[in-house]
Amino acid sequence: MEITSREKIFKMSLPSHVQIVEVGPRDGLQTEPKFIPASDKIALVNALSGTGLAKIEVTSFVHPRTIPQLGDAREVLSGIEKKNGVTYSVLIPNLRGAEMALEVGVDEMRIPVCASETFNQKNVRMSITESLQAIEGIQKISEPAMTPLEVGVALAFGCPFEGEISSEQVTSIVGRLSEMGVTRVSITDPAGIANPVQVKDRISTLLAAFPEIKFSLHLHDTRGMALSSILAAMEVGLATFDSSIGGLGGCPFVPDATGNVVTEDLINMLEEMGIQTNVDLEKLIECSQLAQKLVDRPLVSRILRAGTRQQLIQSHSTSP
């Protein structure tokens, strides 16, 4: 009874279906100090492909000196078993990265631009304007290759170096992307400083101002507000979210940042609320166990530690 009434309350304003983009193999593994062999990365992506996830960010074509862990991008991308119905995307830092990704073959590319000038300089040694010009250069090769390009607007909720990032700054960058013909934009918070009210405010502004753009949200759970912020974003109509298996990850430029919101915790929350994800939670938990084995340390996943609600109920119904 309790769940039925909860579903009724939330379904009035929440999407019936949500798409999850798994970024663990890229965002998650990029900060792992211990090198994970390409064969293990391939095994993780293949396992994730069998869970029902619609999109997986496989790797990044960044220079191996910048992120040695992902220096095997070509090997990993060409080694995975591509499954029908799954979109395989990669992160690219620049034109050279895009050329390399297109050479191997990829379904989608994502390139970041920071809403903070300081962070953008530290990340790619370019101003925001130079980054936007670089994106225009990449469009010249991604469009003929019919490979969609998504732009990640990073530090959209605040920056560890600049402090507050205004809503106007984010809207202005998205406006310039819209003028360039970009139709996919991910709003990202690698520093994990967004809160639900800020997310609701910023996402509703963007959805209203740019109906031609398909937005997604990429939150790190550094301060434990990622799930509540996703709920806030769903309340204003957003239905695509990034997450990371087991909560793998951090951010190379953000001190003590933790990983993305945990994929299995997010799927568990959504499914329990009656929101469809088409993802098999049990298979996902197996992927999380595999990820934990690969990095050789316990991950932050709550579901991995505590089990699902269903498991708890079953254990109580079988024991006196």
Cβ-Cβ contacts under 8 Å for 204 (sequence gap 6 or more)? 236, 237
| Distance separating alpha carbons of residues 243 and 289, to the nearest angstrom | 16
Selection from 55, 46, 56 nearest residue 24 by Cα: 56
* Nearest residue to Zn ion on Cβ basis: 27
Comparison of 258 and 277: residue with beta carbon closer to Zn ion: 258
Query: What is the closest distance, in whole angstroms, from the C-beta atom of residue 252 to Zn ion in the complex?
Result: 10
Which residue number, 14 or 159, has a Cβ lying nearer to Zn ion?
A: 159
CA dist 189 → 37, 101, 122, 126, 277 (Å):
28, 25, 16, 20, 22
- For residues 23 and 101, which CB has a smaller minimum distance to Zn ion in the complex? 23
Binding site for Zn ion (CB under 5 A): 27, 190
| Residue closer to Zn ion (CB basis): 160 or 190 | 190
User: What is the nearest approach in angstroms of Zn ion to the Cβ of residue 27?
Assistant: 4
226-235 and 196-209 helices cross at what angle (nearest 10)?
Answer: 40
Pairwise CA distance, residues 177 & 158, whole Å: 20
Q: Which residues pair with 90 in a beta bridge?
A: 59, 109
Crossing angle of helices 167-179 and 196-209, rounded to 10°:
30
3-state DSSP assignment of residue 168? helix
Tokens of 2: 């309790």
Q: Which of 114, 159, 251, 287 is catalytic?
A: 251
User: Any idea how long the chain is?
Assistant: 320
How far does Cα 30 stand from its chain's mean position?
13
What is the closest distance, in whole angstroms, from the C-beta atom of residue 251 to Zn ion in the complex? 6
- For the question of residue 251 being annotated catalytic, the response is yes
* Min separation Cβ 190 and Zn ion, Å: 4
37 Cα distance to chain centroid: 22
The DSSP output letter for 247 is G
Residues 6+ apart with CB under 8 A from 217: 186, 187, 188, 199, 203, 229, 230, 233, 238, 240, 241, 242
Nearer to Zn ion, 14 or 186 (CB): 186
We find the least distance from the C-beta atom of residue 318 to Zn ion, in angstroms, to be 41
As measured in angstroms, the least distance from the Cβ of 57 to Zn ion is 10
Our CB check for Zn ion shows the closer of 14 and 73 to be 73
Which residues form the catalytic set?
Answer: 251
